[in-house]
Structure 1
Amino acid sequence: MSTETPTVNGVPQERRLVTDLPGPRSAELMARKLAAVAGGVGTTMPVFAAKAAGGIIVDVDGNHLIDLGSGIAVTTVGSSATQVVERAKAQLDAFTHTCFMVTPYDAYVEVCEALAELTPGDHDKKSALFNSGAEAVENAVKIARVHTGRDAVVVFDHAYHGRTNLTMAMTAKQMPYKHGFGPFAGEVYRAPMSYPLRDGGLSGEEAAARAIDVIEKQVGGDQVACVVIEPIQGEGGFIVPADGFLPAIAEWCTKNGVVFVADEIQAGFCRTGSWFAVEHESVVPDLITTAKGIAGGLPLAAVTGRAEIMDSVHGGGLGGTYGGNPVAAAAALGAIAEMKEHDLNKRALQIESIIVARLLQLQEMHPAIADIRGRGAMIAIELTKPGTLEPDAALAGAIASRAREAGIVVLTCGTYGNVFRFLPPLSISDELLHEAFDVLATVMGDLA
């Protein structure tokens, strides 16, 4: 039997540390970063990437790190997926830009056609393409306001929707996303989210009734343009609402003429084991925002929705110089092709099975793991002081630091800073997943 290490695009799929982290070349580059890059731009790890493929990131010192972050859910198909690279290269050879609003090109139209096919619901759909998730959310709000003639926007506790002025208003967490950046856009209202660990046993329907009561008392259903919700919250802590919550909110929106917007920027495109997270409860949104995993690492975002809603905006009211850039659009078509060819929804469920099994083993040994939650390759643990719901952000930080030193790229999140999230690329091997969780088990054992 061969023991040769498998490779993906020439990158050996193994964890290998040849220096302490950071190595000397990364340390040199970090010094240059500190001198040239604004201090507000932080980094999770002080190592600089040189190459990445499959489940491995290779740094400039030759260290091979196991990637459990996917560039924050962006490189779902891997960091150098064949069809993404080939299609982007071919487009680069043709042209880099003309601006779709000046002289359009077919890749933009093809992406919109693919979104109409893949997003939930069999109604007529149209899309508009943008650059980032925050842009998509802002434009979804614009569209909803024009369509309804109303102003109010409802979002939820623990939400994250972006870093622009409007999306900061929509985002719940103050530090680091909002601190010092106000005043923010008005007519944004916040309702309580379904958070099963901290809801005292509320069902999804009961949590929805609580949220709807707040909306009707504080805003009024006839004043709301849209409700914007992440079907699984991302930065807020991978919170999966209790079954029944999303359908009840969507039903209330329909009854009140409110546009239901699913923010699928982190959860979409096979990440949860279905094309979109709302599909787990058969919810069909009026508008859906996408970005991150859509284009294999190139900047692209979209708003897709009911044709009559999308067409309510006057000509010229949507767009942007770079929106739907031809190279990014070509990459998106490659990413979607990879997802279909390799059945990445199925792969996400296989990854879920491995990760959850390993986390359940850890939970038996470590009572600080108060909750294991998520879907597909979007799984998290919430750490608390044992026997309580008091968040333990210090423990989460310590585990993350030690894991990174051992060559595992891990991310934390959550309103309280006490949630570990696991977002591996769907191209990662089972062997790398198990090795990463072997390291995590050792780290947690040492700290315990």
Structure 2
Amino acid sequence: MLFLCISTVFSGMPKKAEAAGDPLGIQAEATILLDVNTGKILYQKNIDTVLGVASMTKMMTEYIVLESIKNKKITWNQKVKINHYVHQMSDESTGLSNVGLTEGEEYTVDELYKAMAIHSGNGAAVALAELVSGSEKNFVNLMNKKAAELGLKDYKFVNASGLNNTDLLGKYPAGSATDENLMSARATAKLAYHLITDFPEALEISKIANLKFRDKKLPYKNFNWMLPSLIHGYEGVDGLKTGHTDLAGYCFTATAERNGQRYITVVMKAKTQDSRFTETRKILDYAFGNFTNEEIVKKHYQDKGHKSLSVIKGKEDKVKIYSKDAINMVVKSGEKANYQPVLVLDKKKLNKNGELTAPIKKGEKVGYLTLKPKNGANMNFLYEDGNKKVTVDVVAENSVEKANWFVLMMRGIGGFFGDLFGGISSTVKGWF
């Protein structure tokens, strides 16, 4: 099981937030704005500060359940019999978010997943964890393992629901009696990013505003009040997960899409239930109002200094090269001209003189093209290799066949006499 390599986290306490400038004046401990297409970070505040995540934890539970379905370990129609502990955990009278589950009754994975993803059902989360791993303890081990695989880095999972362990009726699966799940805003954004890109079907459920569950007379409301039909409705919002505990404060991971452009935002430790939505609105307004997806480099772009490469042993002595595709990236309005293309040739395919060797196939990769800010600043991505999202292959425009032996021999002879004549000429010139 992988935990945070931070001493304060091992003791169950989040590390102190670092002071950071915040041009939007967001009233929350940590925030992040992410372009989903490239993973480019467009805005941030204290994104590596480790904080409580409360029910945003359930995004990890959702991820593992969806992965288990994909791998045919479980199915949507599979029935789960509710045991006494899960029944107690789903008690709606506790004041915790729950959909009441009856002891001894069977519910499908589909029903439990919707109860967890829409109404943040804690009992449903535990039932699914037990189904996937046999026990919630085993599932927590899996959560931490999966977090490492996804590269979250800053995290600590001690239960499947996101509650403080004190709320688990004395049966907490990991950590101490007062422990709680922890992540940074960066790690939370990574989890959300993987959830909706690896399993886009998750959004088909997270966007449901009201859950009709069995014979319940009234529907269960989605706690994401920024869904378009709810009180803080915002155009394009279709996910993702809220959370609240005393330690975590009020949290919200949102995602919204307009005209094919999708963003993810995370707000951690906002002051009130409503402010997590009003602060998210500020960030989304900033995103949709100030950023656009631009074609920075057109398809078949040719670098001015390398429109072609020399070729040896070929029927032609040069081959044109260009970018296979265009490079598109979300940029702040008016800043498109601040980025320049950078050509990187594959040294393994070039000899010491920078030449290719025939044969060369049309479309063969000879390098790549990426972007670089003209002011020398680094572009900030969710992952260290994020530049790959704004990188395209540079390929040969045409094929160059290898010249036959006779042509190569004649070239060699011509070259020999050419060098010889050149040497004699130089010598003669030296006499005068």
Q: Which has more helix, going by share of residues?
A: 1
Normalised TM-score (structure 2): 0.27
Q: Which has the larger radius of gyration?
A: 2
Normalised TM-score (structure 1): 0.26
Q: Which has more strand, going by share of residues?
A: 2
